[in-house]
Amino acid sequence: MRSKKFILLVVLFLLLLSQIPFAYRRFKLRRLSSAIQQLNSQRTPTQPNGFKEYKGVIHVHSFLGGHSAGTFSDIISAAQANQLQFVIMTEHTEKEFDTAAMTLKGTHGGVLFINGNETSAENGDRLLVLAGNVSIVAYPQEFKNWDAASFNGVEVYNVFTNARQANPVIAFFDVLWSQRSYPDLIFALYFQRPDESLKKWDQALARARLTATGGNDAHANIGVSLNDRSGKKLLGIQLDPYAVSFRLVRLHVLVDENKPLDEASLMEAIRAGHCFIGFDFLGDSSGFEFGASPDAIQGDEIKVDRPLKIRTPVPSRVVLYKDGSVIMDESGVTSRDFSVVEPGVYRAEVYLPQLGNRLWIISNPIYVR
């Protein structure tokens, strides 16, 4: 009997010992949360003349195409809670009915919804087809037919692709320790720069103008629950509710200030690359500016004699790329002009040294000809 008690005590001790790293990870999230609050209080956003910035999410699924039980009401409520101006739906296709036609479209609860599909070719290539006329390469690390001229952009970041790299055992204990207090910041423990997707985008930009987007890939289908015989949930935990997914990554779109925000103006701006990707769970990225004097913005084409300009809402590390290679890497930047001496495709990435040098913003390119 004494031996059994001893073994039990040893097991309990080892179990408690194994939780020390997760308690420390929760402590780090607490510090991260405080640092983010401080950063947000220091923001000095800008906005290019002649444009209005709108923030929203792209790559969202509901119950329509399987893989999700999320309702329209859930999605609308989550968009409102996140103060989004638009949500772009990308329902999985079905043989029997048109999921793009049946999903959310138009204005609901003060939020503009754009309908669309996530389609799959015979070779496995997947596209996000938005409002029937804008196509975005999904999961570029798996995409094969890069020579096709039938797409307008590349989803260079995807929440699901990033999340599936996490160790499930470690993620399970992180959730137990931190999900209640920091449901979105848990993701910071696994967040990674999408190296391979950005590399493929840079290579594709040598052949065509392609808009970069960041996909939430929101399904609201990850969790554990206990249901009764009728299917009613008695007890459970939802790990990816839309309200959390919509906080992780957002698309910030610049629309002509003389045009209303509607399907036509939003699709026009995205197709033109007048947008940037913000990892807003690390802090509101609204007010970032990358352009060229006097009036060019992301997605535009300029001549070689016009300097680039970069404006960030808080002091940041800015990395400037030309044709996929780093040509500038500076910290403490809030305002920086850069003289262009040769043609190329220029884009910027913004990092936050205050938060452990995490990636915060991915711009769309300026095309210098």
**Ranges 69-73, 178-182, 323-327, most confident:** 323-327
Quote the pLDDT of residue 223: 55
So what's the pLDDT on residue 226? 46
CA 156 to chain centre: 9
Instruction: Tell me the torsion sign for CA atoms 255, 205, 357, 27.
Output: positive
| Beta bridge pairs of residue 158 | 215
What does the pLDDT average to over 284-310?
94
Residue 18: per-residue pLDDT: 87
Please report which confidence band the pLDDT of residue 11 belongs to, taking 50, 70 and 90 as the band edges. confident
Strands (E), 203-340: 211-215, 223-227, 233-238, 250-256, 275-278, 289-292, 296-297, 301-302, 308-322, 325-338
Torsion of CA 342, 276, 153, 184, to 10 degrees: 140
User: Mean of the pLDDT values across residues 313-317?
Assistant: 97
- C-alpha dist (Å) from residue 78 to 3, 14, 83, 135, 281: 54, 41, 9, 25, 15
- DSSP letters of 187-231? GGGT----HHHHHHHHHHHTTS--EEEEE--B----EEEEE-TTS
Which backbone phi and psi does 311 adopt, to 5 degrees?
Answer: -130, 130
- Tell me what pLDDT residue 224 has: 47
Query: What's the pTM?
Result: 0.92
Nearest-angstrom CA–CA distance, 109 and 82: 12
pLDDT on residue 229: 60
Q: What is the mean pLDDT of residues 174-178?
A: 90
According to CATH, the topology of domain 21-43+51-287 is TIM Barrel (3.20.20)
CB neighbour class for 231 (10 Å; exposed up to 12, middle 13-18, buried from 19): exposed
- What pLDDT is stored for residue 227 in this prediction? 52
Q: pLDDT tens across 214-260, in order?
A: 999 999 876 544 455 655 554 446 668 999 999 999 999 999 999 99
State the pLDDT confidence band at 15, using cuts at 50, 70 and 90. Answer: confident
Q: Position 147: which residue type?
A: D
> Does the pLDDT at position 268 exceed 50?
yes
Domain ranges of the chain: 21-43+51-287
**Residue 5 pLDDT grade (very low, low, confident, very high; cuts 50, 70, 90):** confident
Q: What is the mean pLDDT of the chain?
A: 92
pLDDT of residue 12: 82
Q: Cα separation of 46 and 334, whole Å? A: 10
Provide the residue type at 289 as one letter: E
Tokens coding 191: 């967040």
In tens, the pLDDT along 329-348 reads 999 999 999 999 899 999 99
Residue appearing with tokens 């000809």: 369
Task: List pLDDT tens digits, range 198-213.
Answer: 999 999 999 999 999 9
